[in-house]
Amino acid sequence: MDADLRSKIMGAGDLIYDVALESFEDGYELENIYEVLTVVLDDVEAKYECMHCDAGCYDCCSQLPLVTFREWAHILNHLYSQSTVAFRKQLVNSCHKLMDDAESALPLWMKMKEMDLDNPSAADTIDNIFSNESTQCPLLIDGLCSVYEARPLICRAYGRMMRSEEDSLYCQPIVNKLLPVMQSGQQVELPVYKHYQELSYELEGDGAYFTLLPVWILSHESNDGDIDPQPHDISNNSDWPILPVKWGFAQAFE
């Protein structure tokens, strides 16, 4: 990130969240969203000790992230620049194991191939998938994210933001630390994830969609069990369920 822009955002005081969002008005790429969000979250941690993640905690990695095409391309590039063939093959194998695990979110997600998304019952099924917190992300290795520098937007934001102006985006450990602070009367103002989420979706253009990270991995499996280095659109491939990005917003379930 440009040092002047970082200084401008960090020096905006009570207007920091507004100034951060205004920085996108002249155009942006996915990396710019990640960079600005990092500055904003650094500010959150500097202001509120209670918003720091506990050392060694990876509770948020017990849920599979939803990833857009551009985010997948970003992760894929990282995998090819920072990992070995053996690691990528191990990653593919882990995703196959998730596919065979009836307790994981992946088999349920795959059932969407036969689902009518316009049917009201679809929202209940999709909500169940989203709320499955017993499916560990395959990129979590020995308690650490193996693509941390390239992790998706939701992984960067989770734990220190509001999902919308009315809905939170943090885990129980953060709640346990935050409640006493709020009960003491201290005002805690947090940035809103939805604004960054919308920016990410706008980058995808018409027909924007996302899918679970293991779906991206398995849909890019090569004949030798590695991952194809070239990201490709899977929106027209009926073998791999995707969702329009409108399902990323809470109102999709109302």
Distance from C-alpha of 10 to C-alpha of 27, rounded to nearest angstrom: 20
* pLDDT of amino acid 203: 96
Q: What is the pLDDT of residues 24-59, one digit of tens each?
A: 999 999 999 999 999 999 999 999 999 998 888 898
* pLDDT of amino acid 250: 57
DSSP of 53-93: PPTT--GGGGSPPEEEHHHHHHHHHHHHHH--HHHHHHHHH
Q: What is the pLDDT of residues 52-78, one digit of tens each?
A: 988 888 988 988 999 999 999 999 999
227 bridge partner residues: 221
* pLDDT of amino acid 147: 97
Judge contact between 150 and 77, C-beta under 8 A: yes
Average pLDDT over residues 14-29: 95
Residue 205 half-sphere exposure toward CB, CA atoms < 13 A: 4
> Would you place residue 170 in the very low, low, confident or very high pLDDT band (cuts 50, 70, 90)?
confident
Judge contact between 136 and 143, C-beta under 8 A: no
Q: What is the pLDDT of residues 154-167, one digit of tens each?
A: 999 999 999 998 88
Report the predicted TM-score, pTM, of the whole model to 2 decimal places: 0.93
Chain mean pLDDT for the chain: 91
204 bridge partner residues: none
Average pLDDT over residues 205-227: 96
